[in-house]
Amino acid sequence: MIRFIGKRILQMIPVVLLVATLIFGILYLVPGDPAQIMLGSTASEYELAEMREQLGLNRPFIVQLGEFLSDVFLHFDLGESYLTGAPVAGEIMQRLPRTLILGIASMVLAFGIGIPLGVTAAVHQNGWGDRISMIIALLGVSIPTFWLAMLFVLLFSLKLGWFPASGIGGWEYYVLPTVSLCFGGLATQARQARSSMLEVIRADYVVTARSKGLTQREVILKHALPNALNPIITLAGTNLAVIFGGSIVIENVFSFPGIGQYMITAINQRDYPIVRGCVVMLAVVFAVIMLLVDLCYAFNDPRIKARYENQGKKKKPSKEEK
């Protein structure tokens, strides 16, 4: 298992390297002059040229790219903001924990509600439990996240005054963003859990467990659900990546000072070092998420764990080979 983890960590390096190269190339080709934005429309050509020289924008593309990749992967330096001069890495590390808390809390909520909904729908197929669960899932898939977030602000902040509408502080500042962000993931988890459970609930080993006199709860929790978890885990990893991507919108709706709001502000101001740093950091987070998903596979299914462990063992020669 240690060998497998090490191999996957090494595979993360070219992925993050490719993402860093792509985002640098995209921002290089995007219309707009950061020097012009920083100095304003009244700046002279001499001032613009001096600012481009100071920012390094007048050098060849390959030189800028090489310096950027060297700074990121060899010196762990994400550069400095064009506008404020503050180190990008420091700002990201200050905001990243908030985005991680928001994303993980949303995923836990989606997982904790979506799976029981899906299991209930599968156990009571075509019954009221199934219909109610699937209506909730359909609403979650259909309602845009940003619209739901604005609705929550109007209802729970402005009308009822239960939760703050923006900013950061105690736990109450995380409630509305978390619920808004988890709704789509909750729906997809419920649909996947229902589908996976329906595949295993009539399997022979489940019928045998029932014939032994086990209760419905024991049959579902000990026999059916563990065998239905792998597709659910796959979707959970994908949903977590989608949630972190969706946090960009949610953080702007709630003025939540996380990575998403930081990056959107930088995009509007053409502050490219911030955009590049945020994208590279999110790529690392997504790669770690997929590694954790693979480890969850192994934890849930001993056969997968055995396969990983056997990958590092050399095959013993047979008697004929000797």
Q: Look at residue 284 in the predicted model and tell me its pLDDT.
A: 85
Q: What span, in angstroms and rounded, lies between the C-alpha atoms of 245 and 140?
A: 17
Amino acid at 119: V
Q: Which fold has domain 94-311?
A: MetI-like fold (1.10.3720)
The residue assigned the tokens 């990749």 is 69
pLDDT at residue 260 tops 60 = yes
> Between these two residues, 226 and 261, which has the higher pLDDT value?
261
Dist. CA 56–CA 51, nearest whole Å: 8
What is the separation of C-alpha 219 from the centre of its chain, rounded to a whole number of angstroms? Answer: 33
Q: Confidence class of residue 179 from pLDDT cuts 50, 70 and 90? A: confident
Q: pLDDT-based confidence at 313, cuts 50/70/90?
A: low
What residue spans define the domains of the chain? 2-73, 94-311
- Geometric angle at alpha carbon 204, from 203 and 206, rounded to 5°: 70
End-to-end alpha carbon distance in the chain = 29
CA 152, CA 175: separation in Å to the nearest integer?
10
Provide, rounded to the nearest whole percent, the portion of the chain with pLDDT above 70.
Answer: 91
> Which two tokens mark 197?
């459970």
Element (H, E) at 176: helix 172-200
pLDDT of residue 301: 61
Please tell me the predicted confidence (pLDDT) of residue 146: 81
| Alpha carbon distances (Å) from 138 to 132, 144, 187, 229, 267 | 10, 12, 7, 21, 33
For residues 224 and 322, the model is more confident at 224
CB atoms within 10 A of CB 292: 14
> Which residue type sits at 314?
K
Whether the pLDDT of residue 15 is over 70: the answer is: yes
Mean pLDDT along residues 84-89 = 82
The predicted structure's pLDDT at residue 317: 53
Predicted confidence at residue 69, as pLDDT, reads 87
* Cα–Cα dist 71/204, whole Å: 58
pTM, entire model: 0.74
- Structure token pair of residue 89: 């890495």
Lowest mean pLDDT among 6-15, 57-66, 88-97, 289-298: 289-298
Contacts of 300 (CB under 8 A, 6+ apart): 226, 229, 230, 233
